[in-house]
Amino acid sequence: MIEISRIREQKDEVVNGLKVRGLDVATEVEQILNLDKQWRTKKQEMDSALAEMNQISKEIGQLFQQGKKDEAEAAKQKTGELKERSQTLKTEFSDLEKQINDLLLNIPNVPNKLVPEGATEDDNEVVFEKGTIPTFDFNALPHWDLATKYDIIDWEMGVKVTGAGFPFYKNQGARLQRGLINFFLDEAIKAGYSEYVPPFVINEDSGYGTGQLPDKEGQMYQVTADNLYLIPTSEVPLVNTLRGDRVKKEDLPIKLTAYSPCFRREAGSYGKDVRGLNRLHQFDKVELVMASDQESSYQELDKMVEHVKGLLEKLELPYRILRLCGGDLGVTAAITYDFEVYSTAQERWLEISSCSNVETYQANRMKLRYKDEEGNTKLCHTLNGSALALPRVIAGILENHQDANGINMPKALVPYVGFERIQ
């Protein structure tokens, strides 16, 4: 959630910044400022009414203690109207607060200056590209056929047991999955992240803290009996470990990593986009999360991007990095770098990681703060990135490292999976 102070003090920057997303929030901003003005007036009215009430109550108390019961009773009579008035003021005050809050919740994060203007993914900016796309002199297969051919993923078994989008990994496929998780976690630990194993379900407050609620509850699986949600990414439990915290500046950045399955309903997705491993309802991911001070968050984002680059190079996959345009940027992000791996057989790029600086957007909601050198309380910046999402890594490995009768493992992965080749 955007800070109200930012709208008060830098309204033009906010309005102009959001134009990059193709949004015009000029009217909303004016509405907020107007309500904010009313809110402040109401706050003063309410506070002085309460002050008056407190004063009278105190006097009544003193009268009782002095044994002047009649005077006290008389004073009680006078409070009725005042009490009613302060009740009304309280209601009006919280109504205003709610209105402002609702409007603020609907304003996405203001994009960083580097974010290109644009409406759709076609306007994303390719900022880096590496690796060679292999050419095959045999009939190269897409990963779903390779997976079936080498009996490492069973799609029908998943449909039978659960439904579409919940495949079983088997044999070398299961070991590949397990090896990748360990590989990614070890690399994250080497980069200074602390490893957590988080809960895979979260409560409402956590959903609100990271921004899944109140808008996107339809994208999460719900455990209605207990009012819990299956996590769509371990970013949610990881960032929420810091909810409401006041951290020491010298402890920043706080760097957390976790492996978790991710559950997404993906309502409305269909067709070739969801074929094979392209889009699943449950998939595994190793996530990176960081809380930093305001000054160094962009340097930390660069480090995170470097880390992910390193992973893809060790996996010997052709990839590119996109800077998302305003229209493609998620609501909470100020900037996002997407990593895409090339799917040789599908002849398309698959998103495999997304590294974002959310700045204060989550920290403001969850009141995650630190004190700077002058002793001023400031909101942290939070960052998150995938390192990496497993299914598309597997798709990439299968398709790019295939030959006529098998799939070669990248060297870095061999000690983790315990074999050099799937065949």
Partner RNA sequence: GGAGAAUUGGCAGAGUGGUCGAAUGCGGCAGUCUUGAAAACUGUUGUGCGGCAACGUACCGGGGGUUCGAAUCCCUCAUUCUCCGCCA
Q: In angstroms, what is the minimal distance from the CB of 80 to RNA?
A: 7
Q: In angstroms, what is the minimal distance from the CB of 274 to RNA?
A: 35
Backbone Cα Rg of the chain: 27
List the helix and strand counts (H, then E) for the chain.
13, 19
Binding piece for RNA, criterion CB under 7 A, among 64-72, 99-107, 251-259, 263-271: 64-72
Specify whether the CB–CB gap between 29 and 14 falls below 8 A. Answer: yes
Cβ atoms within 10 Å, residue 303: 16
Answer yes or no whether residue 61 interacts with RNA by CB under 7 A: yes
Answer yes or no whether residue 164 interacts with RNA by CB under 7 A: no
Q: In angstroms, what is the minimal distance from the CB of 128 to RNA?
A: 40
Specify whether the CB–CB gap between 339 and 319 falls below 8 A. Answer: yes
Binding piece for RNA, criterion CB under 7 A, among 53-61, 186-194, 260-268, 294-302: 53-61
Residue 198 vs 326, nearer CB to RNA: 198
Report how many residues bind RNA under the rule CB under 7 A: 23
d(CA 188, CA 307): 8
Answer yes or no whether residue 48 interacts with RNA by CB under 7 A: yes
**CA angle (212 as vertex; 191, 104 as ends), nearest 5:** 110
Residue 44 vs 299, nearer CB to RNA: 44
Binding piece for RNA, criterion CB under 7 A, among 62-70, 161-169, 178-186, 324-332: 62-70
Q: In angstroms, what is the minimal distance from the CB of 7 to RNA?
A: 11
Answer yes or no whether residue 64 interacts with RNA by CB under 7 A: yes
Answer yes or no whether residue 16 interacts with RNA by CB under 7 A: no
Listed residue (153, 188, 99) closest to 391, CA to CA: 153
**Residues 6 or more apart from 215 whose CB is under 8 A from it?**
105, 331
Answer yes or no whether residue 127 interacts with RNA by CB under 7 A: no
- Using CB under 7 A, which of 58, 190, 216, 348 touches RNA? 58
- Using CB under 7 A, which of 9, 24, 30, 47 touches RNA? 47
Listed residue (268, 242, 237) closest to 253, CA to CA: 242
Chain positions 364 to 403 lying near RNA, rule: CB under 7 A, are: 377
Q: In angstroms, what is the minimal distance from the CB of 47 to RNA?
A: 4
Helices 390-400 and 171-190: crossing angle in degrees, nearest 10, is 110
Binding mask 265-294 for RNA (x = CB under 7 A): ------------------------------
Binding piece for RNA, criterion CB under 7 A, among 41-49, 192-200, 302-310, 414-422: 41-49
Answer yes or no whether residue 213 interacts with RNA by CB under 7 A: no
Residue 5's φ and ψ, nearest 5 degrees, are: -60, -30
Tokens of 324: 């998302």
Q: In angstroms, what is the minimal distance from the CB of 63 to RNA?
A: 8
What SS3 class is residue 61? helix
- Using CB under 7 A, which of 43, 175, 243, 314 touches RNA? 43
Q: How far is CA 298 from the centre of its chain?
A: 17
d(CA 392, CA 199): 24
User: What's the distance, Cα to Cα, between the start and end of the chain in Å?
Assistant: 50
Write the DSSP symbol of residue 365. Answer: H
Answer yes or no whether residue 51 interacts with RNA by CB under 7 A: yes
Answer yes or no whether residue 33 interacts with RNA by CB under 7 A: no
**Residues 6 or more apart from 366 whose CB is under 8 A from it?**
209, 210, 239, 240, 242, 243, 244
Question: What sign does the dihedral 214-218-220-225 (CA atoms) show?
Answer: positive
d(CA 112, CA 105): 19
Residue 44 vs 405, nearer CB to RNA: 44
**Residues 6 or more apart from 367 whose CB is under 8 A from it?**
243, 244, 379
- Using CB under 7 A, which of 9, 22, 40, 192 touches RNA? 40
- Using CB under 7 A, which of 60, 291, 350, 379 touches RNA? 60
Answer yes or no whether residue 62 interacts with RNA by CB under 7 A: yes
Binding mask 81-120 for RNA (x = CB under 7 A): --x-------------------------------------
Burial bucket for residue 282 (CB in 10 Å: 0-12, 13-18, 19+)? middle
Answer yes or no whether residue 79 interacts with RNA by CB under 7 A: yes
Binding site for RNA (CB under 7 A): 40, 43-44, 47-48, 50-51, 53-58, 60-62, 64-65, 72, 76, 79, 83, 377
